[in-house]
Amino acid sequence: MTSLESVAGWGLDGEELTLLDADDEELLRFGVASPVGSWLVTGFLNGDAFTSPRAATEITATFSEEGEVSGSSGCNTYTATSEADAGGIEISAPATTKRLCTEPAGVMEQEAAYIGALASAVSYRIDGGALELSRADGTRVVSFMPS
């Protein structure tokens, strides 16, 4: 907040906003939020309900700079391509390994719901460090926290 009081100008450096003091020295720099990084799923759309992952399962996603997303869907691992730009995101239908897990009960149904939700995302937002993916109608389909 103290830096904001000293702002005398601003500039653009590519897609980043810089705030400058009276001597044109950079005080603050703001960039476009990006999903790039490693995330842990905290919830996903399963039918009409937004649910948490089942106990004893971990669902993850890692978005790379190269446009790939991969992780664990609770039993199997998956990979897909992704393209994110200014709040929009496109994720291809993920390819998964073909393991069959019987424990915990319902893990395969959870996995199918998560994979479907992930592929339905068309937008993202990062708020307070959490990443949320949504469908075109604004319905939240997956939420993540940093892992």
| pTM exceeds cut of 0.75 | yes
Find all residues with CB under 8 Å of 120, minimum gap 6, and list them: 45, 135, 141
DSSP 8-state symbol, 37:
E
Taking 90 as the threshold, does the pLDDT of residue 116 lie above it?
A: yes
Taking 90 as the threshold, does the pLDDT of residue 29 lie above it?
A: no
Taking 80 as the threshold, does the pLDDT of residue 15 lie above it?
A: no
Banded model confidence at residue 30, pLDDT cuts 50, 70, 90 = confident
Stretch 44-53: mean pLDDT, rounded?
96
Taking 90 as the threshold, does the pLDDT of residue 76 lie above it?
A: yes
Banded model confidence at residue 2, pLDDT cuts 50, 70, 90 = confident
**What is the separation, in whole angstroms, between the first and last Cα of the chain?**
29
**d(Cα 139, Cα 113) in Å, to the nearest integer?**
15
Tell me which residue of 127, 116, 131, 128 sits closest to 45, measured CA to CA.
116
Domain ranges of the chain: 1-31, 37-146
Class of domain 37-146: mainly beta
pLDDT at position 47: 94
